[in-house]
Amino acid sequence: MSARLVAEASCSTSSSRLAIKPGSTPLLRPCTLRCKAFSSSSTRVSSPVSAAIPSRRVIRPLKAVETVDAPSAASTGATPSAPPQAYPFTEIEAKWQAYWEQNQTFRTPDQVDTSKPKYYVLDMFPYPSGAGLHVGHPEGYTATDILARFKRMTGHNVLHPMGWDAFGLPAEQYAIQTGTHPAVTTARNVDRFRQQLKALGFSYDWGREISTTDPEYYRWTQWIFLKLYERGLAYQAEVPVNWCPALGTVLANEEVIDGLSERGGHPVVRMPMKQWMLRITAYADRLLDDLEGLDWPDSIKDMQRNWIGRSEGAEVQFDLAAGPGAALPSGSCLRVFTTRPDTLFGATYLVVAPEHPLVQQLATPEQSAAVTAYVEAASRKSDLERTELQKDKTGVPTGSFAVNPVTGERLPVWVADYVLGSYGSGAIMAVPGHDTRDHEFASRFGLPVKQVVAPAAGGEVALPFTEPGVAVNSAGAQLSIDGLASAAAKAAVIDWLQAQGRGAKQVNYKLRDWLFARQRYWGEPFPLVYPQGSDEAVPVPESSLPLTLPETDNFKPSGTPESPLAAITDWVNTVDPRDGVTPARRETSTMPQWAGSCWYYLRYISPRCHEALVDREAEKYWMPVDLYVGGAEHAVLHLLYARFWHKVLYDLGVVSTVEPFGRLVSQGMILGEVEYTAWRRQQADGAEQADAGWAEEGAPGAVPVKLTDAEVDKRGDGYVLKADPSVKVSARAHKMSKSRGNVINPDDVVDQFGADSLRLYEMFMGPLRDTKVWSTRGVEGVHRFLARAWRVFEGGVTDEEPTKEQLRLLHQTIKKVSTETEEMRFNTAIAAMMEFVNGVTKSWTNRPRKALEPFILLLSPYAPHIAEELWARCGHTASLAYEAWPQADESLLVVDTINLPVQVNGKTRGTVEVAAAASQDDALAAALANGNVAKHAGGKEIKKIIYVPGKILNLIVPGK
């Protein structure tokens, strides 16, 4: 079934804790709280996020402008809000979404005026799950949409596309459980996501929509793979995989928890299997070096540097000496990599990984059973469990030995799972005096610890000493490095090893080649066949692409470590494409979900191009992506894989830039509503005592009681029970999850407050990159602001000339909103617009067009539906999407006159208007001309004049 695909939209975020300063935060002021991420998934709140919210006012619908078609809510499928609306957002939003779609307002032409500047703004490829969006998803999407709309109005050609990362495990698991084809569920989920995104008014060019499951798309994914294969960057190797016998399938690392399958809790073992790999390590140095020129957060660049993990050192050869009865071939040796060859004299044992091919041969008969049992136990652990999570080191001796090349000592060889077969040679020399992990292991098993490095400044040190210093106790018959600084000692040891043929200088990486195969149905097929009697893969001709998935209703695992595709013999059995006769068998593994998401940003540029994956001239204009926004959880794998593929395509001449994403921004997480909890005492049998009273949090036997915000009061730095202020109440916000029941559905928010309110609130909560706490009351506060903006225009605008003060307020707002929008400080831009509306509402007695229409344009990227409607009601007959962005008149920002407070003997007696640079004499003259000031100071001797220019004038006169 060659179905059009769907996508994986993973907007998960890391857990965070947020501390909010005591004191209420008015919702109609900018939220500038800075949020610090911690390991906890909850946030303790020390202050409510609240606001004085004006009473609800229902706005009567105004007559729609005839030039803009206004479909009814019923015709668009919109659900009217149950409560009275503060302004008619249901009608407005349905109307303008229909208008944008009908008129393809945001369609970016295939041929653009390349003399204009471009702006390519991109969201991370979403996977459309069956659950649909929650309110965390639109945060990044709203940010990119604001920039897209802003840049259109500043004269840029804008590319703002959307599509779906639709292959992957979730759809296949659902298919296995329900019998529904993955293509069906994927298409259904895509339709749901698309409908939700359109309901939020995002200005995507839906004419460029793509899906990784579309054969015309994955045709080019397969083409890229063939190019990787031709260049030797795709190869097969036997690597350990997670095999679950009970489920009869291979599992990805993220599907294995504590050695058990995530689904069903069945035992999982590690077993070797021939897999397709991509040689990303061949690009390790370029991936490192090219990070320097990217406008990315330093934290994400550091994560990539650490993941690549470039280190310089030496490969050292240790000859092996078999223990009694060990079946170790004569002349065997272990090669190990070390970043500290200067510590070679301090090696006291060697360790091999459980996967090392010599493990069983190293084991003596006496140790064989223990080694076998240990290797089997290690096969049930993930790499993460064996390294970062393992507190206590484990291992067993093999009974054999290795010979230190510089000392001739026989060192015991152990097998331990803190060494991974996938890193380096799968073996290490252990120097417990100068390595923390080796010291922990040596301490656990009573192995020798030697000091061979001392501080350069001298003095005693506690081992392990891991810093550079001076070599000590490092002299032998053939080599002495005593007294050399660490750098010089390293060089001397490497030179000696090379001269003796016992080692060489080497650069090593933590980065491993990319395991690029999955034993799944729902993925891109490999365009390869194996002729009968051969294990060598033969590529499918490019002219035969795409190689599509076969139709089947059987997605269940085969019971062997093979893909379900292996059971579809009509598809598997084919012929050698070179002669069209020799029987052949197709590759039955499929590509991982990462494949389609590695290059999708290129296909958006020319999604209907049949001759190439991207049109060459269009690519030269649009690349690189100017702004890429997505979750920090994709900081390493997706971004690293995409950069690797892009560099390969650059080497092939397909793309013109060495990097795909110029600027990267990661949005923060939105936590659920604040949850209030107190604790009651509990009897030993578990029954709650109604009359036993309240308990402190953490008290023995205390049980939590959930409270509503109406039941608590703010006191000092915390909260108390309103009915009994002596009872302390905990206030925490948690990551949204189904299990907590705190997931907010954006559809509900849109129904009640409108899409513009949701968009505006998510940007107003705080800085985009920070973690924020959701508050439905906060949405209502922003909704009130939009209602006030609506009322400003309710009576229409006039053509009378605005006053200088009115223009000054407008142009101050233009300057602030322009700057803050460009710098992605959206919350403070919104605050400036709120101040403008407040100023108009409080002091303007008229509504001059020249002072109000530019405000609509400022508002439009943030709240596009209401802005379009206000623009139309001001008499315009076309969308404002491409109107010129207002420019601040600097001359109007200069204050010519000020209102100067005047005091007499420290009491304010009046205010006078004077020039901003008025002298003391001019200010005094203006003050004495004020009737009330003259009443208290006129005719009296002025003993002292206190004048602060631009601030205050205080006249000191004799009392009565």
Give whichever of 221-230, 305-314, 636-645 has the largest mean pLDDT. 221-230
Q: Are residues 702 and 653 in the same domain?
A: no
Looking at the predicted structure, is the pLDDT value of residue 941 above 50? yes
What is each CA distance from 763 to 1, 862, 916, 953, in whole angstroms?
Answer: 42, 8, 36, 42
Cα–Cα–Cα angle for 387, 388, 389, rounded to 5 degrees: 100
In a domain? residue 871:
yes
Q: Which of 564, 562, 544 lies closest to 554 in space, CA to CA?
A: 564
pLDDT tens digits, one per residue of 448-458 = 999 999 999 88
What is each CA distance from 573 to 153, 338, 587, 726, 778, in whole angstroms?
Answer: 57, 48, 10, 77, 61
Looking at the predicted structure, is the pLDDT value of residue 499 above 80? yes
In a domain? residue 26:
no
Q: Are residues 639 and 567 in the same domain?
A: no
Structure tokens at 923: 């200010």
Do 311 and 341 form a contact (C-beta atoms < 8 A)?
Answer: no
What is each CA distance from 780 to 92, 372, 674, 675, 865, in whole angstroms?
Answer: 18, 65, 16, 19, 17
Give the integer Cα–Cα distance in Å for 824 and 838.
23
> What ranges make up the beta strands (E) of 661-723?
664-665, 670-671, 675-680, 694-695, 703-707, 712-715, 718-721
pLDDT score at 133: 86
The dihedral over CA atoms of 808, 811, 812, 816, expressed in degrees to the nearest 10, equals 180
Do 214 and 515 form a contact (C-beta atoms < 8 A)?
Answer: no
Q: Which of 6, 3, 173, 238 lies closest to 557 in space, CA to CA?
A: 173
Do 438 and 347 form a contact (C-beta atoms < 8 A)?
Answer: no
Which domain, by its residues, includes 644? 100-221+600-666
Structure tokens at 726: 């002596």
Residue ending a domain, choose from 509, 526, 553: 509
Give the integer Cα–Cα distance in Å for 212 and 6.
7
Residue type, 138: P
Q: What is the CATH number of the domain that holds 330?
A: 3.90.740.10
Q: What is the CATH number of the domain that holds 157?
A: 3.40.50.620
Q: Which of 202, 258, 23, 922 lies closest to 913 in space, CA to CA?
A: 922
pLDDT score at 683: 59
pLDDT confidence band for 785 (50 / 70 / 90): very high
More confident residue, 894 or 285: 285
Q: Are residues 870 and 926 in the same domain?
A: no
Structure tokens at 497: 């090893």
Question: Which range, of 32-46, 284-298, 849-863, averages the lowest pLDDT?
Answer: 32-46
Looking at the predicted structure, is the pLDDT value of residue 80 above 60? no
Looking at the predicted structure, is the pLDDT value of residue 128 above 60? yes
Question: Which range, of 505-514, 686-695, 697-706, averages the lowest pLDDT?
Answer: 686-695
pLDDT confidence band for 17 (50 / 70 / 90): very low
Do 840 and 792 form a contact (C-beta atoms < 8 A)?
Answer: yes
Looking at the predicted structure, is the pLDDT value of residue 666 above 50? yes
Give the integer Cα–Cα distance in Å for 682 and 679.
9
Q: Are residues 499 and 518 in the same domain?
A: no
Instruction: Please name the residues in contact with 570: beta carbons below 8 A apart, sequence gap of 6 or more.
Output: 550
For the segment 365-369, the average pLDDT, to the nearest whole number, is 97
pLDDT tens digits, one per residue of 18-73 = 333 323 333 333 333 223 222 334 444 443 333 322 332 232 233 333 233 333 33
Residue 156, SS3 per DSSP:
coil
For the segment 658-662, the average pLDDT, to the nearest whole number, is 98
Give the integer Cα–Cα distance in Å for 362 and 401.
8
pLDDT confidence band for 390 (50 / 70 / 90): low
Phi then psi for residue 942, to 5 deg, are -90, 110
For the segment 709-727, the average pLDDT, to the nearest whole number, is 90
pLDDT score at 137: 87
pLDDT confidence band for 691 (50 / 70 / 90): low
Give the integer Cα–Cα distance in Å for 831 and 682.
48
Q: Are residues 726 and 874 in the same domain?
A: no
Q: Are residues 847 and 876 in the same domain?
A: yes
Q: Which of 203, 124, 201 lies closest to 159 in space, CA to CA?
A: 203
pLDDT score at 43: 47
pLDDT score at 6: 30
What angle do helix axes 864-873 and 755-764 make, rounded to 10 degrees?
Answer: 120
Structure tokens at 310: 């470039």
Give the integer Cα–Cα distance in Å for 845 and 792.
11
pLDDT score at 239: 83
What is each CA distance from 690 to 703, 711, 712, 725, in whole angstroms?
Answer: 12, 17, 19, 18
Q: Are residues 549 and 424 in the same domain?
A: no
Cis status of the peptide bond prior to 725, with omega within 30 of 0: no
pLDDT score at 260: 84
pLDDT confidence band for 391 (50 / 70 / 90): low
pLDDT tens digits, one per residue of 533-544 = 999 999 999 999
Residue ending a domain, choose from 575, 594, 613: 594
Looking at the predicted structure, is the pLDDT value of residue 352 above 70? yes
In a domain? residue 552:
yes
Do 527 and 224 form a contact (C-beta atoms < 8 A)?
Answer: no
Q: Strand pairing partners for 280? A: none
By CB atoms closer than 10 A (0-12, 13-18, 19+), residue 41 is: middle
Question: Which range, of 98-112, 419-433, 569-583, 672-686, averages the lowest pLDDT?
Answer: 672-686
More confident residue, 880 or 12: 880
Question: Which range, of 210-214, 295-299, 681-685, averages the lowest pLDDT?
Answer: 681-685
pLDDT score at 662: 97
More confident residue, 862 or 422: 862
Q: Are residues 709 and 842 in the same domain?
A: no
For the segment 157-181, the average pLDDT, to the nearest whole number, is 90
Residue ending a domain, choose from 836, 868, 892: 892
In a domain? residue 724:
yes
Give the integer Cα–Cα distance in Å for 74 and 71.
8
In a domain? residue 476:
yes
Instruction: Please name the residues in contact with 111: beta carbons below 8 A apart, sequence gap of 6 or more.
Output: none
Domain tally, the chain:
6
Q: What is the CATH number of the domain that holds 882?
A: 1.10.730.10
Residue type, 885: W
pLDDT tens digits, one per residue of 871-880 = 999 999 999 9
pLDDT score at 254: 59
In a domain? residue 302:
no
pLDDT score at 33: 28
Structure tokens at 944: 């002292």
Q: Are residues 816 and 934 in the same domain?
A: no
pLDDT score at 960: 55
Give the integer Cα–Cα distance in Å for 125 and 163.
7
DSSP single-letter state for residue 280? G
Looking at the predicted structure, is the pLDDT value of residue 569 above 70? yes
For the segment 377-404, the average pLDDT, to the nearest whole number, is 83
pLDDT score at 384: 67
For the segment 781-801, the average pLDDT, to the nearest whole number, is 95
Give the DSSP H or E segment for 287: helix 284-289
pLDDT tens digits, one per residue of 584-626 = 999 999 999 899 999 999 999 999 999 999 999 999 999 999 9
Q: In whole numbers, what is the pLDDT of the chain averaged over residues?
A: 87
Looking at the predicted structure, is the pLDDT value of residue 170 above 90? no
Do 417 and 351 form a contact (C-beta atoms < 8 A)?
Answer: no
For the segment 241-247, the average pLDDT, to the nearest whole number, is 80
This prediction's pTM: 0.81
* Pairing of β 453-454 and β 427-430: unpaired
pLDDT score at 134: 82
Residue 500, SS3 per DSSP:
helix
Q: What is the CATH number of the domain that holds 916?
A: 3.10.20.590
Looking at the predicted structure, is the pLDDT value of residue 236 above 70? yes
Looking at the predicted structure, is the pLDDT value of residue 637 above 90? no
Question: Which range, of 119-133, 279-293, 777-791, averages the lowest pLDDT?
Answer: 119-133
Give the integer Cα–Cα distance in Å for 255 and 257.
7
What is each CA distance from 787 to 54, 790, 793, in whole angstroms?
Answer: 10, 5, 10
Q: Are residues 756 and 784 in the same domain?
A: yes
Q: Are residues 358 and 497 in the same domain?
A: yes
For the segment 131-138, the average pLDDT, to the nearest whole number, is 86
Cα–Cα–Cα angle for 318, 322, 327, rounded to 5 degrees: 120
Residue type, 178: T
Q: Are residues 386 and 495 in the same domain?
A: yes
In a domain? residue 54:
no
Q: Which of 133, 200, 215, 101 lies closest to 166 in space, CA to CA?
A: 215
In a domain? residue 346:
yes
What is each CA distance from 455 to 329, 435, 458, 483, 769, in whole angstroms?
Answer: 42, 15, 5, 11, 43
Give the integer Cα–Cα distance in Å for 40 and 387.
22
Do 203 and 551 form a contact (C-beta atoms < 8 A)?
Answer: no
